[in-house]
Copies of this chain bind each other. A is one copy, B any other.
Amino acid sequence: MILKCIVINYSYISLGNISSVYTDRVLVHVKDLTEEKVGQVVWLRSRVHTSRAKGKQCFLVLRQQQFNVQGLVAVGDHVSKQMVKFAANINKESIVDVQGIVQKVDQKIESCSQQDVELHIERIYVISTAEPRLPLQLDDAVRPETGEEEGRATVNQDTRLDNRVIDLRTTTSQAIFRLQSGVCQLFRETLINKGFTEIQTPKIISAASEGGANVFTVSYFKTSAYLAQSPQLYKQMCICADFDKVFCIGPVFRAEDSNTHRHLTEFVGLDIEMAFNYHYHEVVTQITDTLVQIFKGLRDRYQTEIQTVGKQFPSEPFKFLEPTLILEYPEGVAMLKEAGVEMGDEEDLSTPNEKLLGRLVKEKYDTDFYVLDKYPLAVRPFYTMPDPHTKYSNSYDMFMRGEEILSGAQRIHDPQLLTDRALHLVTNGYKCVIISCLISSFQFLGLERVTMLYLGLHNVRQTSMFPRDPKRLTP
């Protein structure tokens, strides 16, 4: 006797009873659908990126993270006319489980990441239906604003951020934030190899750290507290407590009412602190070497992500030298003067002059990353160590594509010298640090900014998943 078995090849299914059985069905990843799989029957779970019906066929683009593949539902042995109609009516962004045969295609599918194969679908189940109208279209959200497609729909920043869960699904967003995860990993990997210890510093503090300006106040039981503007004091306490070399990655808070492309009220600080033995350049070398390791790691491990972002936001590949270029301040000023800028020798650099110097350095030395060393003592904080021989100081800034990413200085450790420089001596914490060890203090200016500048993007909101600024607290 033959039992006739009815299999339903398409449906909306409820996963209400999920976790009730174990299954041995193996789901493949879209990124693994390559020519080697031709002829195989596979299952995959993905989003319906687009669908387009055409007579007895329906083309679906199936997307998983940065990858997508063309699926074909065509009337035939396994597929009824109803099933084609069913497939054509699935809302974009719904999640489906499909079974299909991997087939080679004659002509490369330019619109998909998997260009050499397509999937001939035999079964399709919708396991989660998306709303029929989306607040933004993913194709619009990845369209370059210049070039061939100029003039076609794009999505503005606020619409993106208001609907971040959808905007983060674009190939560009997926690539940006995977690369950003890589920045953190490379930073830590390098420092741990150099013998650094990772520390955790408190974000709620009892006194405003930098003179009380731009600090957020927190209600703390019956009193008030503040949100830390930097882990500076705590990092220094660790050095003073013999940790020797420490780093931390964590949020820092600035209550600045700045609405620019590069300011956030909350950002992620990448911080290092170390004692040095004889010369603050020991520290400069450690930092530049760490950054170079990050740049190399990104170039070698995240090329796909860099290319993906470049499709929407074209930029020159990030260039750097080994060893890193260290330019002395007077040389920088001379270059600017030669380019027609009028400025005094001990004058600070304006933001446009920093940008310009970045371009001049790029032309002359072919690098997007350099150190400007020996700032004039007059433009740095009172605790900065003077250069022993000149009117300059043992302090420096580092730049990526002409924007400052880090500001550092050797701190005065001698209480007498410090008192000479500033009669108002600070807290006990500071005092303790000052008398104890040789410290070169500095702070990176943010993971978001480093990621933005590395990729040549133009707004720090593109590299913060859920940015906070004076006007945005959501999502």
Contacts and interface: CB of A to CB of B under 8 A. Distances in A.
Interface of A: 14-23, 25, 27, 45, 47, 64-65, 95, 128-130, 164-169, 173-174, 177-178, 180-181, 184-185, 188, 192, 197-206, 216-221, 223, 225, 227, 234, 237-238, 240-244, 249-251, 253, 255, 257, 265-266, 268, 277-281, 385, 387-389, 394, 410, 413-414, 417, 429, 432-433, 435-438, 447, 464-468, 470, 473-475
A168 B437 contact: no
A464 B225 CA distance: 19
Nearest to A434: B128
Contact of A388 (B20, B95, B234): B20
Contact of A436 (B128, B250, B432, B438): B128
A322 to B, nearest CB: 20
Contact of A192 (B167, B185, B470): B185
B185 A19 contact: no
Nearest to A222: B470
Given A188-B185, A218-B227, A435-B128, A475 B200 contact: no
Nearest to A435: B128
B198 A185 contact: yes
Contacts of A413: 15, 128
Contact of A199 (B174, B387, B465): B465
B438 A15 contact: yes
Contacts of A23: 278-279
A223 to B, nearest CB: 8
A99 B472 CA distance: 59
Contact of A177 (B199, B251, B473): B199
Contact of A165 (B47, B184, B225, B241): B241
A19 B410 contact: yes
Given A181-B199, A217-B218, A15 B414 contact: yes
Contacts of A227: 204, 218
A417 B466 CA distance: 30
Contacts of A268: 200
Contacts of A173: 241
A210 to B, nearest CB: 17
B220 A473 contact: yes
B206 A177 contact: no
A165 B240 contact: yes
Nearest to A131: B435
B394 A241 contact: no
Contacts of A266: 202-204
B22 A278 contact: yes
A221 B436 CA distance: 39
A136 to B, nearest CB: 13
Given A18-B280, A128-B437, A177-B197, 20 more contacts: A19-B281, A20-B389, A64-B242, A65-B244, A130-B436, A164-B241, A165-B241, A165-B436, A174-B243, A180-B200, A184-B198, A200-B464, A201-B466, A202-B466, A203-B203, A218-B227, A221-B255, A234-B465, A237-B466, A249-B249
A409 B24 CA distance: 23
A172 to B, nearest CB: 12
Which of A192, A200, A243 is most buried by chain B, counting CB atoms within 10 A of its CB? A200
A142 B423 CA distance: 38
Contacts of A241: 164-169, 173
Contacts of A25: 278
A266 B436 CA distance: 29
Contacts of A281: 19, 22
B253 A250 contact: no
A389 B129 CA distance: 26
